[in-house]
Amino acid sequence: MPLSGDTVTYPKAVQEIKDYLLVHDKLKDSLDTYLPSPTPGSNLEKMKQFFMSDKLSFAFKKEHIDELFSTYTDANAIRIYFGLNSDGTIPEPTIIITACLVSQNGQGDIITAVNKTSTTSSVPAKQYPKSISPKSGYNQTNFDLADDTF
């Protein structure tokens, strides 16, 4: 049985991204108020830098996804983890993608997901550390999915 999933309408997708931008901006405001100068190197400083980022999306290359599925031939889905990349001087949001094997119930809901990764594999997962900021000037009121180009 093919994996089923929910689709989202254009207006709902735009609204959910706008809602995220609203929460993100409110959090940035509160961090400035309550964490004006966190201790350098502290977890609070990492948290503030992470949430002060304006990164909103990641672009996935097809060949990276194909490589996961060709390495783990019994995988039938991908699993996406949110992460924090602190390789550079300022921590940034990142995404880790791993192939997985999912099973679903009669309604098409995923009920189990087993990651297909290995510590010995040359392709345990893919990372997208270079996140993409939204088009300049966007905020929670004027974001438009169709016009957000890179």
Side-chain-side CA neighbours of 32 within 13 Å: the count stands at 7
The one-letter amino acid code at 103 reads: S
Residue 43 shares a structural domain with residue 66: no
- Say if 138 falls within a structural domain: no
pLDDT at 5: 61
- Clarify whether residues 79 and 109 are in a common domain: yes
CA 53 from centroid of its chain's CA atoms:
13
pLDDT tens string 125-135: 877 656 777 66
Whether residue 66 is found in the same domain as residue 20: no
pTM for the whole structure: 0.75
Q: Mean pLDDT score of the chain, rounded to an integer?
A: 82
Instruction: Quote the number of domains for the chain.
Output: 2
pLDDT digits (tens, 9 = 90+) for 49-99: 888 888 888 888 899 899 999 999 999 999 999 888 877 777 888 888 889
- CB-based contacts of 105: which residues, under 8 Å, 6+ apart? 111
Report if residue 119 sits inside a domain: yes
146 domain residue, yes or no: no
CA angle 94, 99, 104 (to 5 degrees): 115
